[in-house]
Structure 1
Amino acid sequence: MYVPVPRQFVAEVQAYVVQLSGHTTVEGDASGEKPAGETLSEQWTVEVLQRLAATQLPSTQSVSRLLDVLARHAGDYVSTTRLVELLDIDRTHLRGALSAFSRHLKKHFHGRDWPMTWIEQLSPSPDFKTEFFYTVDGTIAQRWQQIRAEA
């Protein structure tokens, strides 16, 4: 559905949509492939992460690069500002990639949650009041690094 949003509120609306789709537990689906209450580490097995890493969609490749960064800093929250610097992409591209990634997970990964978690906090950048900070846990980070090393 198309909903017109004034330009100055686009980032906040996109963040809100991401927030609505981001949660830490999941409900089971009819296939039984995603039982209720699975943790992210249980959802994101080595096999599932391998499928993700093999995905050639540009948005998923951008998220894979984001996961590369987060895996190197497992357990630490990395700001959007820092991610766009490290990935050499702009904020709009990152937001679009994450939005497309959510749709991809819903369609091809039985609606799994993102393999990373996020929080919104005050921004260290004077250009933004708040921003999102992303992290992956140690288990997912280790699995991701193993998969990327084997590729």
Structure 2
Amino acid sequence: MTQWIPVLVRLEDLEKVTALLAELEAGRDGSGLENVYEIAEARPTSTDSPGTDATEPWSVEQLARLASSSTATGQRWAKALDVCCDQPGTYLPTSKVAELSGMSITEWRDAPRKISRHLKAHFADVPREADGDLSWPLSAKSMPNHPGEVSWMATTETASRWSEVRHAQA
């Protein structure tokens, strides 16, 4: 970590800056990055009330494409959706999503870092956030009862659509 310096970033730009840093670091050896990622994960991600989501949910077809994805990122998000959709409207911390899905915390933490690039490549048709970014299939939020971890939530509508996808696959 001797080659790192702290940088002040406006809160509204933090997600984009951390995504850029993750992209730059993807080709490096990764030494010392776990602490950086833990700090980045602790950022506040939303001011919405628990159980709400202002973004239009993904369609059944879009969720089905994610469920059948052969990429590591897609498969990890599908596992997280399985967990979060079992408890719609409830924010689950990263550690719980990882535990219940059978992923390591590192595997699950890696998925949100890579989702923006994955969406641009495979899901350019998903709904967009108010800032124009492609929406994620789960809502992310920092919760006071889980400091230092991002918590994840599926809306009731997303859970219903995900259930439809999983039943069609059975």
TM-score with structure 1 length normalisation?
0.71
- Preserved CA contact (<8 Å) 1:122 1:131: no
Tell me the distance in 2 between the aligned counterparts of 1:10 and 1:137.
26
- Preserved CA contact (<8 Å) 1:40 1:115: no
2:140 to 114, 118, 138: 118
Counterparts in 2 of 1:6 and 1:13: CA distance versus 1, 3 Å: farther
Query: How do 1:68-79 and structure 2 match up within 5 A?
Result: 68-79=82-93
Structure 1 segments, 4+ long, off by >6 Å, are none
Q: Does 1:47 align with 2:65?
A: no
Match of 2:128 in 1: none
Counterparts in 2 of 1:15 and 1:116: CA distance versus 1, 3 Å: same
Q: Does 1:104 align with 2:118?
A: yes
Look up the equivalent residue of 1:116 and give its one-letter code: L
Q: How far is the alpha carbon of 1:15 from its aligned partner?
A: 5.8
Match of 2:109 in 1: 95
- Preserved CA contact (<8 Å) 2:73 2:115: yes
Q: What per-residue deviation string (whole Å, max 9, x for no partner) do you get for residues 76-124 of structure 1?
A: 1111121121122222111112222221112221163101101112355
Tell me the distance in 2 between the aligned counterparts of 1:91 and 1:54.
22
Q: Does 1:135 align with 2:153?
A: yes
Match of 1:12 in 2: 39
Question: Where in structure 1 are there 5+ consecutive unaligned residues?
Answer: 25-37
* RMSD, aligned α-carbons: 2.9
Tell me the distance in 1 between the aligned counterparts of 2:73 and 2:64.
16
- Out of 82-91 and 64-73, give the one that drifted further: 82-91
- Preserved CA contact (<8 Å) 1:123 1:130: no
1:56 to 67, 70, 77: 70
Look up the equivalent residue of 1:143 and give its one-letter code: R
SS of residue paired to 2:88: coil
Q: What per-residue deviation string (whole Å, max 9, x for no partner) do you get for residues 10-64 of structure 1?
A: 3223665x95xx8x9xxxxxxxxxxxxx9322xx111111122121112211110
Counterparts in 2 of 1:118 and 1:140: CA distance versus 1, 3 Å: same
Counterparts in 2 of 1:86 and 1:98: CA distance versus 1, 3 Å: same
